Amino acid sequence: MKSLSKIAILIIALFLLVLGIYIALSPDKPHSYVATEPILSYVVHPKKQKIHFFWKDEDGQILENFDNLIQHVESKNETLIFATNGGMYDKKMAPQGLYIENHKTLKTIDLRKGKGNFYYQPNGVFYLTDTQTPGICSSKEFKNSGNIQFATQSGPMLVINGKIHPSKAFRPKSNSLNIRNGVGILPDNSVLFAMSTRPINFYDFAMYFKAKGCKNALYLDGAISKTYLPQKHCTETGGYFGVMIGVTQPN
């Protein structure tokens, strides 16, 4: 009986080994992102790449997650190469504050005072003009002369004219840690999207953008933040978002 037990154990072990090798080598297996750096980043050149802001589809249904967004983009014969959540939202998954999509103002700017990250003053707006020029400014400074193709409001600002946000929430050794994502404008006018791969405080996250040369950077959101970036094997397609920002290319 002992011999049979040993043979059974060997057979099971061999089966598990073969199964593991098959799964590892299978071309149909999606790769999972393995965080090797504290910040996952992606740089977009708007003059060369197509940035689009997404909220609802043509039927008025909120896209909500990356999986739906991928299908939506593919229906237009394009491929989604990058996506991230693009700002905070209310209980109805509507953008919190200003939202402009394809030159249409779908939500007006929110200049009220309130509680929470969104209302740390100054908060700000990330926008893209119809000449594909990106910008980030404080909400009070934002102006639309009819040339804004996309815009999303969020808060707080992370970097303001080269300086870290003055709020007490940005203490260097703050223990308020969370997953965070944001966006900044680099010196060459390209756009830097970044998401922490582990909990981080506001100060350290803002310092990342400042160290990269961003004069202005904006916080997008926290715990719910996700990034879709197949070129770095970051292919999770879930999520629960209001606005999403994506980069697409023709098929």
* pLDDT tens, position by position, 72-85: 999 999 999 999 99
CA distance 42 to 217: 14
Q: In what order do the strands lie in the sheet with 134-138?
A: 104-107, 99-101, 148-154, 124-129, 134-138
The torsion angle over the Cα atoms of residues 69, 159, 44 and 224, rounded to 10 degrees, is -20
Same domain, 13 and 55: no
pTM attached to this predicted model: 0.85
pLDDT digits (tens, 9 = 90+) for 101-112: 999 999 999 999
Same domain, 19 and 45: no
State how many domains the chain has: 2
What are the residues facing 41 on neighbouring strands? 194
Q: Kindly state the tokens that stand for 6.
A: 């040993």
Same domain, 66 and 190: yes
Same domain, 138 and 240: yes
pLDDT digits (tens, 9 = 90+) for 164-211: 999 999 999 999 999 999 999 999 999 999 999 999 999 999 999 999
pLDDT digits (tens, 9 = 90+) for 1-17: 545 456 655 555 555 44
Q: Kindly state the tokens that stand for 63.
A: 């896209």
Same domain, 117 and 162: yes
pLDDT digits (tens, 9 = 90+) for 44-99: 999 999 999 999 999 999 999 999 999 999 999 999 999 999 999 999 999 999 99
Same domain, 41 and 22: no
Please report the pLDDT score of residue 196 as a whole number.
97
Same domain, 3 and 119: no
For tokens 């402009």, the residue is 100
User: Interior CA angle at 49 toward 125 and 66, to 5°?
Assistant: 70
Same domain, 38 and 127: yes
For residue 185, how many other CB atoms are within 10 A of its CB? 23
Q: Is 73 helix (H, G, I), strand (E, B) or coil?
A: helix
Same domain, 127 and 106: yes
Amino acid at 101: E
Same domain, 67 and 131: yes
Same domain, 35 and 18: no
pLDDT digits (tens, 9 = 90+) for 117-157: 999 999 999 999 999 999 999 999 999 999 999 999 999 99
Please report the pLDDT score of residue 111 as a whole number.
97
Q: How far is CA 203 from the centre of its chain?
A: 19
Same domain, 14 and 115: no
Enclosing domain of residue 6: 1-30
